[in-house]
Amino acid sequence: MKHTVFTLLVIGCLASQSSFAAPFDYLKFAVNNTLKCSHSTVDRSTAKAEYVSQPKRENDLEEARVKIYYKGFTGKSHSMTVDYRLGQLNRQDIISADVLEDSALTGTGKCPYFRDKKHNKDNWQPAEN
């Protein structure tokens, strides 16, 4: 009897943990989304991303800083540093980003979730990883 109760308890715990949302993959998003829309000619298969600062949550907002390394159209090595902010609206993840630097100096105005620096506001968009 005790063995059966213990087994049911373990199964219940495992089932309840599987319902939690997986953590957002900022590194994958940086290469597959940010690099794709800001530098569409870049070969993303050779790009790498790493955390400058790990994701941290404060209240309902999670923030992370990511550096993306990529080769430009001419083969020259470049990097860009991006601050991401992740929130939720109606149970859906939404994201906004701010490009802090981009050594290529081109293409950083095309992503719909990039911060509007002219009007000093975030452009929140659904976060699809």
d(CA 120, CA 110): 17
pLDDT digit string (tens) for 71-94?
A: 987 889 999 999 999 998 888 899
Q: What is the pLDDT of residue 107?
A: 61
Q: Are strands 77-89 and 125-126 parallel, antiparallel or unpaired?
A: unpaired
Question: Domain spans of the chain?
Answer: 23-126
Looking up tokens 């993840």 gives 93
φ and ψ of 11, to 5 deg:
-60, -40
Q: pLDDT at residue 54 above 90? A: yes
Q: Which of 125, 127, 110 is nearest to 25 (CA)?
A: 127
Task: Output the DSSP codes for 13-68.
Answer: HHHHHHTSPPPP-HHHHIIIIIHHHH-TTS-GGG-EEEEEEEEEEETTEEEEEEEE
| Predicted structure pTM score | 0.77
DSSP code at position 106:
S
